[in-house]
Structure 1
């Protein structure tokens, strides 16, 4: 199962997220759940970097692990743009979770 953990601060802003595990919906190369979740996450990160100019701290491995942390000191307007893009990512992942709940779990943690 793919586990996606979204971490929000006390104001409800996304500050980081992790994605780990494997969907195991189908064989490697044919797993639409894995492909969909990966496309959503990486597409969202690419959009954040290209459209806002920021570079989040990203860690990834071939074992299915992705971690992203956002800079804490973003200008207000940039932060709003980043949040909109990442909230779009969350909505897309919620859609995948709704249709493939045995293969993807989304956890949202609020700090504070």
Structure 2
């Protein structure tokens, strides 16, 4: 199962961590894994490309792990953009969880 943990004190997403494997299908055919990966990496890439923010990123060598921490000293404009992108990611992942909840779980720490 893929576990996605969002840390969002005071309604500001400060970090997220993905861990585990969906095991929906064999490697290379797992649509749950592919969807979660595409949404997550797309959000991180969008943050880096569309804002002046350089998040702290940690990845597992064998896959199955991604951690992204957002710096705390952002300008109001950058903060707004980053939060929009991260909330879009959360909504997309919630859509996947709704249909494939047996293979992934989202935890929102507020």
TM over 0.5: yes
For the residues of structure 2 that align with 1:54 and 1:63, how far apart are their CA atoms? 24
Count of residue correspondences: 109
- Structure 1 counterpart of 2:17: 18
Give the match for residue 68 of structure 1: 68
TM-score, normalising length: structure 2: 0.97
TM-score, length of structure 1 as denominator length: 0.95
Deviations 1:18-38 (A, max 9, x none): 000000000000000000000
Unaligned 5+ runs, structure 1:
none
Runs of 4+ in structure 1 off by over 6 angstroms are: none
Greater percentage in strand: 1
Which runs of no fewer than 5 residues in structure 2 stay unpaired?
none
Q: What residue is the counterpart of 1:37 in the other structure?
A: 36
Once the two structures are TM-superposed, the CA of residue 54 in structure 1 deviates from its matched residue by 1.1
RMSD: 0.6
